[in-house]
Structure 1
Amino acid sequence: MSTTAETTGALRAQAVAVDDGRRARRLGWLLAVAVAVAAFNLRPVVTSLGPLLHRVRDDLHMSATVAGLLTAVPSLCFALFGFAAPALARRFGPTVVVAAGTGAITAGVAARAFAGTTALFLLLTALALAGVAVANVLIPVVIKRYFPDRVGPMIGLYSMSLSAGTALAAAVTVPLTRELGGSWRVGLGIWAVAGAVAVLLWLLTPALRRDGRDEAAGTAAGAGQAAERRLPILRSPTAWALACFFGCQATGAYATMGWLPQIYQDAGLSADSSGLLLALTMAIGVPVSFILPNWAARRGDQRAFVVALVAFGIAGYVGLALAPAGGAWLWALLVGLSNCAFPLTLTMIGLRARTSGGVAQLSAFAQGLGYLISIPGPILIGTLYQSTGGWYLPLGFLAALLVPQLLIGLRAARARHIEDEVG
């Protein structure tokens, strides 16, 4: 009887273990989908506005100065609110803050569609961008915490979804607005639907409740544990290298998004063709953003990828300067590949710290400082274009910027952990 009872107990324990494993896999899939849908919502707040900006300006009587300010607001918000993300994550848990950030994106995008004044439109846009900022920083932290053995594939999924949201919002906002009656308010507000789906998924994710309990327990454990989580990150050369690398690539990416259509139109291409070329530049990031982090995470050292992406960029900018119309599709493809330094940077952030807390601090520092570095770039490109009347000097500046990006990237891409550097 004893043997039979022991056998029965063992079988039951085995069945429970199997059920627990299946449940864990289902919950893992749910969190992965939540990450992907949240990432999809991180750029439409910006890229859906550009094609409709002239209508917004006319309706709200927005000055050209304020419209120019709108182009700098994203980077500024990403920097300021991104720096606050680690403290919020320590207090509430990263999944809780990402869920709240997704809610802020949804609320801001939906509410600004009803804004009757320029000031209110800017305020609600800033609310949405604040949500984007904390999610930018903390989604890699969620990946490090819940997918420690799948950092590369999950960063790839995150980057691919982000690129897809960026490209889709830029490509379909105008025709979608036309189909829905022609009002810019509907064209901008419709993107809140995708945000609402993301909020629902995060609310259904058990990790949300687990993070809340864990962080509450961590707070009760006292200041000693909290102090252990904070790193003197300013003492890490790798952190500084990642921040400067992020700033260089963001400068090139935002300059491309802002000015590439104008470059092609000045070369004689139509507005429709220039729009398609910009869409290609962004769309190429969808598959590459999924594949590249997987490849990069399998290697301890990512320097070969840094070199390849810089080479693509130099070739693309030189081609745009010398024969913009002759090889238009090739230059758009090369510049798009060069802009895939963004998912590479996210991958390196996830690999350069040992813990999710370290990733939170490194992500906030690298992205916060990096976005601040990137703010003057697109403005400088416009100034050079206006003063010279051509694109040789602006494109030469972007090509030259890839040299420090290469040198800094070679330092950031070495197999290091910031915890080892700061002791």
Structure 2
Amino acid sequence: MSALTLRAAVTAFSPLAERIGADIGYGTAVVGIFGMLPTAMFGVAGLCTPMLVRRFGLERTVLIAMLLAGAGSLVRVFMANTAELLVFSGVALLGMGVGNVVIPPLVKRYFADQLAAISSLYIVMVQLSTVIPAFVAVPLADGHGWRISMGVWALVGFAAAVPWLVVLRARRGRDLVDTTALPAEPAAAAGKVWRSPVAWGMAGMFGMTSLTTYAMFAWLPMILSDAGASAGFGGSMVGLFALMGLIPALGAPTVVSRMRNPFPVVVGCMVLFATAFVGLLVAPMSVPLLWVVLLGLGPSTFPMALTLINLRTRTPRGSAALSGFTQGVGYAIACTGPLMFGMLHDWTGGWTAPFALLFVALGVLLAGAWQACKPRMLEDSW
């Protein structure tokens, strides 16, 4: 339930952006700000969540995250101006960003002997929370208005808070802050993440995957439109791109957990990415389904990175520290992807320079994965 909350505020809004703008009065520039807001708030959450975990523990932190996600998603639909909509969208996204960080260490804490299976489950739920709101947003808005279409997803956030209330009640009086193998100075220990090649490798792997993926979510329809496709076809290809993410979500955690060093899988993902980029650049409408299928399989490095957060740490505290650093730095980098891709297109009038940017991102991703995939633990490398 928590994982099903983690993308709903993003993809419930995107298909309705123009309709909402026409209602409350904002233009295309503000749509760009809304486009950058998710990764920006996820980055803030990634850097701040380890402090919340040290203060409140994993369970209370994820409860706070679900309540923020639900409250922000609900309150924003009652707003009548752009600034208020942005603020409360930010609240919802901050809650989802905190959830992004704390779910991997919670998996490690409660299911250390089933990391692959439970990681697959929650990553599939994250993918569904990306796909389902996008597909139902417009039909719901047509039938009941955009406020109902967006506000209904607040119920998922509130529902996801209920199991954590049960867990907290069951564990009342017991220490909810993990103290296993903690150094004497927890704050200093968390700071050591910044000096670990494992952490920087994870951040590069995760950040470049997210940058590339969000750039494609934002610009794939226009790439196809410039090649002669209809707006409806471009939208359906974005849906296919998102749906393809379910395949690696199901399989990647198991594959990664069974390999001592899964770097060869990353190389395979880069081949898929590169083939799709060349196809979309040179002949986008020759076999667009093939290009989009390959493009959707390339980000298999996303579930790989989430799984490696647990496989490369010894304790839930280490997992929380690595998760926060990976997602904080990664999403901070990723939020520049759609913007830079679009700016390069505007400056050059074509798609060659924007795709060159993505090839550079693939190089950084490979370098990061080389460090992240090595069979060693975070706690041994700081």
> Cα distance, 1:64 vs. partner?
3.5
| In structure 2, distance between residues paired with 1:272 and 1:374 | 27
What are the Cα deviations for residues 201-255 of structure 1, in whole angstroms up to 9, with x where unaligned?
A: 3323x2665387313796xxx9947469646112211111111111111110110
Distance 1:58 1:289, change over 3 A: same
| In structure 1, distance between residues paired with 2:286 and 2:34 | 33
Higher relative contact order, chain-length normalized (CA < 8 Å, sep 6+): 2
Indicate if the aligned counterparts of 2:318 and 2:379 stay in contact, CA closer than 8 A: yes
Structure-to-structure mapping, 1:315-394, within 5 angstroms: 315-394=275-354
Indicate if the aligned counterparts of 1:91 and 1:215 stay in contact, CA closer than 8 A: no
Q: Which one-letter code corresponds to 1:141 in the other structure?
A: P
Indicate if the aligned counterparts of 2:241 and 2:292 stay in contact, CA closer than 8 A: yes
The residue that corresponds to 1:97 in the other structure is 61
Indicate if the aligned counterparts of 1:310 and 1:338 stay in contact, CA closer than 8 A: yes
| In structure 1, distance between residues paired with 2:272 and 2:69 | 34
The residue that corresponds to 1:251 in the other structure is 211
In the alignment, is residue 86 of structure 1 matched against residue 50 of structure 2? yes
| In structure 1, distance between residues paired with 2:310 and 2:183 | 26
| In structure 1, distance between residues paired with 2:212 and 2:187 | 37
Indicate if the aligned counterparts of 1:246 and 1:370 stay in contact, CA closer than 8 A: yes
What are the Cα deviations for residues 255-289 of structure 1, in whole angstroms up to 9, with x where unaligned?
A: 01111111111111111111111111111111320
> Cα distance, 1:63 vs. partner?
4.0
The residue that corresponds to 2:154 in the other structure is 192
TM-score norm. by structure 2 comes to 0.94
In the alignment, is residue 143 of structure 1 matched against residue 103 of structure 2? no
| In structure 1, distance between residues paired with 2:232 and 2:177 | 54
What are the Cα deviations for residues 101-154 of structure 1, in whole angstroms up to 9, with x where unaligned?
A: 011111111111111121211111111011011110000010011111111211
| In structure 2, distance between residues paired with 1:223 and 1:209 | 28
The residue that corresponds to 1:201 in the other structure is 163
Q: Which has the larger radius of gyration?
A: 1
| In structure 2, distance between residues paired with 1:211 and 1:366 | 31
Identity of aligned residues (%): 35
In the alignment, is residue 421 of structure 1 matched against residue 373 of structure 2? no
Structure-to-structure mapping, 1:169-248, within 5 angstroms: 169-180=133-144, 183-204=145-166, 206=167, 209-210=170-171, 213-215=174-176, 224=184, 226=186, 230=190, 232-248=192-208
SS at 1:260 equivalent: helix
Q: Which one-letter code corresponds to 2:175 in the other structure?
A: D
| In structure 2, distance between residues paired with 1:118 and 1:212 | 44
> Cα distance, 1:95 vs. partner?
1.7
In the alignment, is residue 56 of structure 1 matched against residue 20 of structure 2? yes
SS at 1:168 equivalent: helix
> Cα distance, 1:189 vs. partner?
0.8
Q: Which one-letter code corresponds to 1:187 in the other structure?
A: S
| In structure 2, distance between residues paired with 1:343 and 1:216 | 26
| In structure 1, distance between residues paired with 2:313 and 2:341 | 35
SS at 1:214 equivalent: coil
Distance 1:216 1:275, change over 3 A: closer
The residue that corresponds to 2:93 in the other structure is 129
In the alignment, is residue 68 of structure 1 matched against residue 58 of structure 2? no
What are the Cα deviations for residues 303-361 of structure 1, in whole angstroms up to 9, with x where unaligned?
A: 12111111110011111111111110111111111122111110111111110000000
| In structure 2, distance between residues paired with 1:403 and 1:371 | 18
The residue that corresponds to 2:362 in the other structure is 402
Indicate if the aligned counterparts of 1:229 and 1:358 stay in contact, CA closer than 8 A: no
| In structure 2, distance between residues paired with 1:393 and 1:136 | 32
Structure 2 spans left out of the alignment, 5+ residues: none
What are the Cα deviations for residues 187-207 of structure 1, in whole angstroms up to 9, with x where unaligned?
A: 111111222321223323x26
| In structure 1, distance between residues paired with 2:347 and 2:186 | 52
TM-score norm. by structure 1 comes to 0.85
Please identify, of 192-201 and 42-51, the stretch whose mean Cα deviation from structure 2 is larger.
192-201
Q: Which one-letter code corresponds to 1:340 in the other structure?
A: S
Indicate if the aligned counterparts of 2:201 and 2:372 stay in contact, CA closer than 8 A: yes
> Cα distance, 1:155 vs. partner?
1.3
Indicate if the aligned counterparts of 1:320 and 1:395 stay in contact, CA closer than 8 A: no
> Cα distance, 1:79 vs. partner?
1.1
